[in-house]
Amino acid sequence: MINRQLKFAEAIHEAIDICLDGDRSTYLMGLGVPDPIGVFGTTKGLQEKHGKKRVFDMPVAENAMTGVALGSCLVGMRPIMTHMRLEFAMTAMDQICNQAAKWHYMFGGQSKVPLTIRMLIGRGWGQGPQHSQSLHAWFAHIPGLKVVMPSTPYDAKGLLIASIEDDNPVVFFEHRWLHNIHGPVPEGHYTVPLGEPRIVTEGGDVTIVAASYATLEAIKAGRELEREGIKAEIIDLRTLVPRNDAAILASVRKTGRLVVVDQGTLTGGFAGEIVARVTEEAFGALKAAPIRVALPDIPTPTTRALSNYYYPTPRHIIAAVHRTLGLTSRDGGDDPWAGIEPGDKTLDVPDKSFTGPF
Amino acid sequence: MINRQLKFAEAIHEAIDICLDGDRSTYLMGLGVPDPIGVFGTTKGLQEKHGKKRVFDMPVAENAMTGVALGSCLVGMRPIMTHMRLEFAMTAMDQICNQAAKWHYMFGGQSKVPLTIRMLIGRGWGQGPQHSQSLHAWFAHIPGLKVVMPSTPYDAKGLLIASIEDDNPVVFFEHRWLHNIHGPVPEGHYTVPLGEPRIVTEGGDVTIVAASYATLEAIKAGRELEREGIKAEIIDLRTLVPRNDAAILASVRKTGRLVVVDQGTLTGGFAGEIVARVTEEAFGALKAAPIRVALPDIPTPTTRALSNYYYPTPRHIIAAVHRTLGLTSRDGGDDPWAGIEPGDKTLDVPDKSFTGPF
Amino acid sequence: MPQESRLALYRSMLKIRRVEERIQALYPEGDMRCPTHFSIGQEAVAAGVCKNLRLEDHVISAHRSHAHYIGKGGNLRAMFAELYGKVDGCASGKGGSMHLIDLSVNFLGCVPIVGSTIPIGVGAAFGAMLQDHAAITVIFFGDAATETGVFHESVNFAAVHRLPVLFVCENNLYSVNTPLDVRQPGNRTIAELARGHGIETSQHDGQLVETVDAAVVDALAHIRNEGGPALLEFITYRWLEHCGPLGDLHLGYRTQAEFDSWATRCPLRLYRKVLEDNRLIDDAAHAAMDAKVAEEIDDAVAFARASPFPERSELSRHMFA
Amino acid sequence: MPQESRLALYRSMLKIRRVEERIQALYPEGDMRCPTHFSIGQEAVAAGVCKNLRLEDHVISAHRSHAHYIGKGGNLRAMFAELYGKVDGCASGKGGSMHLIDLSVNFLGCVPIVGSTIPIGVGAAFGAMLQDHAAITVIFFGDAATETGVFHESVNFAAVHRLPVLFVCENNLYSVNTPLDVRQPGNRTIAELARGHGIETSQHDGQLVETVDAAVVDALAHIRNEGGPALLEFITYRWLEHCGPLGDLHLGYRTQAEFDSWATRCPLRLYRKVLEDNRLIDDAAHAAMDAKVAEEIDDAVAFARASPFPERSELSRHMFA
Ligand SMILES: Cc1ncc(C[n+]2csc(CCOP(=O)(O)OP(=O)(O)O)c2C)c(N)n1
Ligand SMILES: Cc1ncc(C[n+]2csc(CCOP(=O)(O)OP(=O)(O)O)c2C)c(N)n1
Ligand SMILES: [Mg+2]
Ligand SMILES: [Mg+2]
């Protein structure tokens, strides 16, 4: 039992700090990294501690700076890059996906690219179409990248250290609404291996697969379902690539039912990959159609009047579980949005302490 | 019965020509568009015919030039952009996916972006890691984009005209190994509506879904299967977004078996989306696990000794059909690669006339 | 400059200032739930540039766009309604502060990805040229935008095609909380950087609205007469935090002394003094002007508050044209 | 310049020329199945630059990279094996002509996405600086690469951090079949464009190898003494088609007259004349030099042909480090 409680953001901070301490070739760069706010606290004070040569800001030039990070790997460095929003890194897709992802392979394994790229996923007030996309499915589709999506402070620290120490490019997702959650975090160095999902709660009635912030929503749904007597086995993917599917397949073989929750949009999203994979591998065990709970295929609207109807809630997960259990007709059942007012001010905050907008 | 035979590349050329003729706001730009080779013949002579103001080359600056195209839409233009390889447009993901895709929605429908972006997918000699990726799954995952992937000259022309005339951004895929295939193409203006798959062959034993070049491989497999007495219903998606799944679902309800063939890599690819969708919607009809036939999760190797073992062949589709029909054990059956030599010179050419490298 | 023009210049700055002060006052109520970037301290650039534009000329901006929207004559009611996320917002509530638009005055839009509207503005000019329109396009952006590759790609294309584009860089010395010297070399200005592309560029004091005005007059004449783009760099300073309605001196990334030296160079104060010295305005006239502006703002805020939220069905509207 | 240095310069050009001529001769057999970009006509740049580099200095290049690989001393056997797609290729066959690499001589690699290796080269210099290495990084690219945004982003970063980078632009007047004037404005050179970033730049004749050499000596001295990057633009000309072993005058995008005027300025011919005039070489010595080069090439080709193809199991190897 670990008694030490840290915020997710603090766990990230500690992981980076430990890696900077442990390996002189590690450095950290990104817009705002050394500024007084320090990327929502995750990089605060690190420049003061580790020096300007190892922790620094950069020009607004995400594509070139990714190339710079990659180039430095070729002479032995181990960079960590930080993007305050995933969208900023969309200018860097060539360097991330054509260069960093493929460099090791396309030169026959001669160079390695131990580059970790932190991507923050926005949610909050009016983050809107260009500050909120969770495009983990994109990166998972590029061979050569590892994709990591923790949901707890413990995993955040252990997986980030593992990512930084990994000799390959890793894209590390941090959902903004996770930064302030608390959880037990051991002191010092430890790693959580890339590739192993975590069984959050055991249950025999239905398997719920999620990752990153969606895991929290799944857990909330699971609590509610438990009250109804439905026991969900909730599995937190933790990493999309690499990914050992044994736990998921074993779970579905037990429950026969699958709901996948994704913080990205539906079509072409990673939930589809999980559904496809499970269906291919455990078809005989499935008792009902799997269901995806994901964002609709719509850009994120800015006004909360619409974003309140955009992000699925635990109620949606519950409704999906009910459907897969045959408790409601496939398309029927309660409208999970029922009773929500456009002006509602509880759905666009992660908790009461949130004062917006980022 | 249409007697006029054109090459796929000629059909593309004709579509562009007709649109330039028909609408003064249409223009065509891209690297090499007016050069003597004319993007594998698809743009040859168009500058001479339509003038330098409507058909022109550009600097190597794909990101800005996409923005330029988008900006011109805001004042009433209807641009066509051409990328000789999809990878070149990976520098333009911000403009394509953050700006063009969302512009109409995020400004409440006030402006429209009738921009068509042609993306050529490389295959051939040593196209390698950076000249061969078919990332249609990426674009299909971005709400606001339409994604079109023809496999015949008829559809190439009809869908390209429909794409250009569509008031939304459309990403239009042309696999290089399609450019030289022949097929019937009517003269003059016609459109093929975006969103409707095409049933290539009817059959009751198994549904094979494909798009773009993969459709040709599926057809080859279908012929072989027919000889074995297995009747495949082959469905050519034609467009990934929008997409009316009625035909696919009806087919699976008939056959109970699904094989999806994809010219992209497996994980996070669009084949998974189709499998997920069909499983969600037609679970009860499925008699066996669906199977995806896609590229392995590996960057494209350059040497043919490895690319010969990289691209799935009709034999792989046949093996998948056999598996889903229970004719071979799930993992057993013949190795589709058996008998292929590393130095084989038939697998890295679309036909005998091909002299490489592009 | 004619007396009325001088007063109009001041009025434009005053309106920008007062609108932003009102947002500042209302924002803490928690009903404008979107990231909001203020131009307080930088008003002279928007006012000085927009004074010289015709209705048909295009303007496009980025994340810090209120001033440009107002300067170009954007609808105030629609702006406030947008900030409140209402259906009558200029983007139907879908955009928020970072996505203002008013096509009736050819304010084409803005987006918060740094640099991204620069090529789009160039494209608007290009499209106009293809249609033989005489419209000029003004693109507003900050100092950090000149670090993006897309800025250079855009300037190059505008230079090749000699497009009627006025690039306006508001160099306020910071990108978020990061000073210029860790982002750009100290031995060249942004004007010099852009001059490398073979276009007309110059650097000016961005606090003196008549200096801005004169620079713009020259640049527009160049664009019209010689054809081809120009870039103006204006040195200015943001008073509030990068995003949001508060001050941020407590953060320590800039000094009180630096702030004070800029605060004394408030573009409104400096220009009011000029007008007073020239007896074009006195306290009473100023109060009257202020009252009229306040009235317009009151009306816009009332309108915005009264406007309904978009209905749930609006979520899937505007997906495709 | 010492006699041996002059002969070495010539020998370097000759080797590059002969290797490419051999590829040209063999390519039509259809066994080198990868896109191949030749530098015939442009040898003086690679030879003149690489002569001044130490083993520890880094070189990175783009799609047209044979000359740079050879100039830096890259292994010839491994290069030919790579072109043949063999397991002994410098990238195990996984890369082909567009992905040459030889880490034993600090030739870091090359990729065909235009502009993409520029920041990577800057990163190598940055990484070396972080580790207090004295290595200089040379980045080779073409005229079109200066149109990409990433070029400017990279130069800016190198300028801010005063990195020991030599940017070498081989301006051969074309990007594929597209001339410079539809891509870049005519009123500035690439050297002037880059000078906007506040770095040391100059333009030179790329056909005269001693001119190249002298420019590089100066630039390296500047980098070593002043710290901070420099850019050299060399005007040169490609003889063959953009990609592939053939001529392309029949396409008509360039004229015979233009071609002829450049062909007479063949860097090898011009320099051989200088050496002959200075009695440093005669026909016999030249033939001997040529024979030695041919021998090395014969060996490399034989090695490459004898090398086996990678086995099927190699497909999934090297996926992760
Ligand atoms: C591509 C990209 N990277 C980073 C950001 C985060 N960001 C938002 S505003 C901003 C500062 C821009 O500074 P500047 O262009 O000088 O404009 P200012 O805010 O000073 O007016 C940054 C870095 C972004 N929006 N887009
Ligand atoms: C981003 C990108 N766009 C387009 C291409 C296609 N392409 C390959 S080589 C080339 C020409 C490059 O010209 P230049 O940089 O002058 O080099 P040169 O071939 O003349 O040596 C182009 C446009 C590419 N490889 N990458
Ligand atoms: Mg600024
Ligand atoms: Mg060139």
Say how far apart CA A26 and CA A72 lie, in whole Å: 10
Show the beta-strand stretches assigned E in chain D.
58-61, 107-110, 137-142, 165-171, 174-175, 178-179, 200-205, 230-235
Tokens at B16, concatenated: 């562009």
| CA C144 to ligand 1 center in whole angstroms | 6
In the predicted model, residues of chain D with pLDDT beneath 50 are none
Say how far apart CA B135 and CA B82 lie, in whole Å: 16
Q: Give me the sheet containing D137-142, strands edge to edge.
A: D107-110, D58-61, D137-142, D165-171, D230-235, D200-205
pLDDT band at B3 (very low <50, low <70, confident <90, very high): confident
Say how far apart CA D152 and CA C151 lie, in whole Å: 9
Which one-letter amino acid corresponds to residue B232? A
pLDDT of residue B7: 97
Which residue of chain B is at minimal alpha-carbon distance from D320? B298
Tokens at C145, concatenated: 């935008």
Say how far apart CA D119 and CA C29 lie, in whole Å: 46
pLDDT of residue C92: 97
| DSSP-derived 3-state class of residue A178 | helix
**DSSP per position, A225-293:** HHHTT--EEEEE--EEES---HHHHHHHHHH--EEEEEEEESTT-HHHHHHHHHHHHHGGG--S--EEE
Query: Does ligand 2 have an atom closer than 6 angstroms to the CB of B20?
Result: no
Say how far apart CA B89 and CA B286 lie, in whole Å: 39
Query: Does ligand 1 have an atom closer than 6 angstroms to the CB of C144?
Result: yes
Chains B, D: CB contacts under 8 A, how many? 138
**Gyration radius from chain C CA atoms:** 19
Q: For chain A, what is the mean pLDDT?
A: 96
Model pLDDT for residues C173-222, shown as the tens digit of each residue: 999 999 999 999 999 999 999 999 999 999 999 999 999 999 999 999 99
pLDDT band at B333 (very low <50, low <70, confident <90, very high): low
Query: Does ligand 2 have an atom closer than 6 angstroms to the CB of D175?
Result: yes
Say how far apart CA B153 and CA D307 lie, in whole Å: 42
Reported as half-sphere exposure (CB side, CA atoms, 13 A), residue B165 has a value of 19
What is the length of chain A?
358
Cβ-nearest to C85 among A297, A303, A356: A303
The structure tokens 């991330």 sit at: A96
Average pLDDT for B19-30:
98
Contacts of B among chains (3+ CB pairs under 8 A): A, C, D
Cβ–Cβ gap B61/D147 under 8 Å: yes
Percent of chain A with pLDDT over 70: 99
Say how far apart CA D107 and CA D87 lie, in whole Å: 19
C52 φ, ψ (degrees, to nearest 5)? -95, 5
Q: Considering A50, A131, A136, A322, which one is annotated as catalytic? A: A131
Is pLDDT at B354 greater than 90 in this prediction?
no
Cα Dmax for chain D:
57
Q: For residue A179, indicate whether it is catalytic.
A: no
B positions 54-113 inside 8 Å of C (CB): 54, 58-59, 61, 63-77, 94-95, 98-99, 103-113
Model pLDDT for residues B220-250, shown as the tens digit of each residue: 999 999 999 999 999 999 999 999 999 999 9
Proximal ligand: closest to the CA of B358: 2
Cβ–Cβ gap A35/C176 under 8 Å: yes
Cβ–Cβ gap A58/C312 under 8 Å: no
B314 φ, ψ (degrees, to nearest 5)? -55, -30
The structure tokens 């897969």 sit at: A324
- For residue B193, CA distances in Å to B101, B160, B189, D233 come to 20, 10, 13, 51
| CA C180 to ligand 3 center in whole angstroms | 8
Q: For chain C, what is the mean pLDDT?
A: 97
Query: Does ligand 2 have an atom closer than 6 angstroms to the CB of D176?
Result: yes
DSSP-derived letter for residue B99 is I
- For residue D194, CA distances in Å to B324, D37, D232 come to 60, 26, 9
Q: How crowded is residue A329: how many other Cβ atoms within 10 Å of its Cβ?
A: 9
D65, D150, D155, D315: which to substitute to probe chain A, counting the most A Cβ within 10 Å? D150
Query: Does ligand 2 have an atom closer than 6 angstroms to the CB of B130?
Result: no
C148 vs B: CB within 8 A:
no
Q: Give me the sheet containing A170-175, strands edge to edge.
A: A55-56, A26-30, A78-83, A116-121, A170-175, A146-148, A239-241
Say how far apart CA C291 and CA C303 lie, in whole Å: 18
D positions 255-294 inside 8 Å of A (CB): none
Query: Does ligand 2 have an atom closer than 6 angstroms to the CB of B135?
Result: no
pLDDT band at A328 (very low <50, low <70, confident <90, very high): confident
Cβ–Cβ gap A130/B273 under 8 Å: no
pLDDT band at A3 (very low <50, low <70, confident <90, very high): confident
Which residue of chain D is at minimal alpha-carbon distance from A63? D150
Which residue of chain C is at minimal alpha-carbon distance from A309? C312
Is pLDDT at B330 greater than 60 in this prediction?
no
Average pLDDT for A190-205:
98
Model pLDDT for residues C217-245, shown as the tens digit of each residue: 999 999 999 989 999 999 999 999 999 99
Is pLDDT at A330 greater than 60 in this prediction?
no
Which residue of chain A is at minimal alpha-carbon distance from B288? A283
Model pLDDT for residues D278-308, shown as the tens digit of each residue: 999 999 999 999 999 999 999 999 999 999 9
Contacts of C144 in chain A (CB under 8 A): 59-60
Residues of B with a catalytic annotation lie at 62, 131
Say how far apart CA B353 and CA B355 lie, in whole Å: 6
Contacts of A90 in chain B (CB under 8 A): 93-94, 97-98
Please name the residue whose Cα sits nearest to atom 13 of ligand 1.
C175
Say how far apart CA C129 and CA C162 lie, in whole Å: 10
A208 φ, ψ (degrees, to nearest 5)? -115, 120
Residues 6+ apart with CB under 8 A from D106: D55, D56, D57, D58, D59, D72, D135
Beta bridge partner(s), residue A261: A293
Residues 6+ apart with CB under 8 A from A87: A130, A131, A133, B94, B98, C113
pLDDT of residue A353: 84
Is pLDDT at A104 greater than 90 in this prediction?
yes
Chain A nearest CA to D204, separation (Å): 27
Model pLDDT for residues C273-316, shown as the tens digit of each residue: 999 999 999 999 999 999 999 999 999 999 999 999 999 999 99
Is pLDDT at B302 greater than 90 in this prediction?
yes
- For residue C74, CA distances in Å to A347, C102, D258 come to 31, 6, 55
Model pLDDT for residues A175-194, shown as the tens digit of each residue: 999 999 999 999 999 999 99
Cβ-nearest to B63 among D96, D149, D244: D149
pLDDT band at B352 (very low <50, low <70, confident <90, very high): confident
Chain A nearest CA to C12, separation (Å): 28
Say how far apart CA A97 and CA A91 lie, in whole Å: 11
Query: Does ligand 2 have an atom closer than 6 angstroms to the CB of D68?
Result: no
A positions 276-315 inside 8 Å of B (CB): 276-277, 279-281, 283-284, 286, 288-292, 296-299, 301-302
Angle at B81 between CA B355 and CA B191, to 5 degrees: 90
D26, D29, D34, D174: which to substitute to probe chain B, counting the most B Cβ within 10 Å? D34
Tokens at B345, concatenated: 């010179």
- For residue C254, CA distances in Å to C175, C178, C235, D160 come to 12, 9, 16, 20
Average pLDDT for B341-355:
89
Say how far apart CA A227 and CA C316 lie, in whole Å: 34
Dihedral sign computed on CA atoms, order A154, A155, A157, A158: positive
Average pLDDT for B88-105:
98
pLDDT of residue B332: 60
Tokens at B61, concatenated: 């600056």
**DSSP per position, C140-160:** EEEGGGGGSHHHHHHHHHHHH
Query: Does ligand 1 have an atom closer than 6 angstroms to the CB of C127?
Result: no
> Which residue, among D112, D87, D114, D107, has the nearest Cα to D97 in the 3D structure?
D112
pLDDT of residue A334: 76
Cβ-nearest to B57 among D85, D96, D178: D178
Percent of chain C with pLDDT over 70: 100
What is the length of chain D?
321
> Which residue, among C65, C197, C202, C85, has the nearest Cα to C139 in the 3D structure?
C65
Chain B nearest CA to D307, separation (Å): 12
A192 exposed, middle or buried (CB, 10 Å; 0-12, 13-18, 19+)?
buried
Say how far apart CA D109 and CA D95 lie, in whole Å: 10
Average pLDDT for B179-191:
97
Q: How crowded is residue C280: how many other Cβ atoms within 10 Å of its Cβ?
A: 15
Contacts of C among chains (3+ CB pairs under 8 A): A, B, D
pLDDT band at B329 (very low <50, low <70, confident <90, very high): low
Is pLDDT at A331 greater than 70 in this prediction?
no
Which residue of chain A is at minimal alpha-carbon distance from B267? A141
Say how far apart CA B176 and CA A122 lie, in whole Å: 38
D85 vs A: CB within 8 A:
no
Say how far apart CA C119 and CA B93 lie, in whole Å: 14
Say how far apart CA B35 and CA A197 lie, in whole Å: 53
| CA A130 to ligand 3 center in whole angstroms | 20
Element (DSSP H or E) covering residue C214? helix C209-226
- In ligand 1, the atom with minimum distance to the C-alpha of A60 is 3
Element (DSSP H or E) covering residue D72? none
Beta bridge partner(s), residue A150: none
A positions 47-86 inside 8 Å of B (CB): 63
Model pLDDT for residues A7-59, shown as the tens digit of each residue: 999 999 999 999 999 999 999 999 999 999 999 999 999 999 999 999 999 99
The answer to whether B133 and B86 have CB atoms below 8 angstroms apart is yes
ipTM above 0.90, yes or no: yes
Q: For residue A189, indicate whether it is catalytic.
A: no
The structure tokens 């839409």 sit at: B73
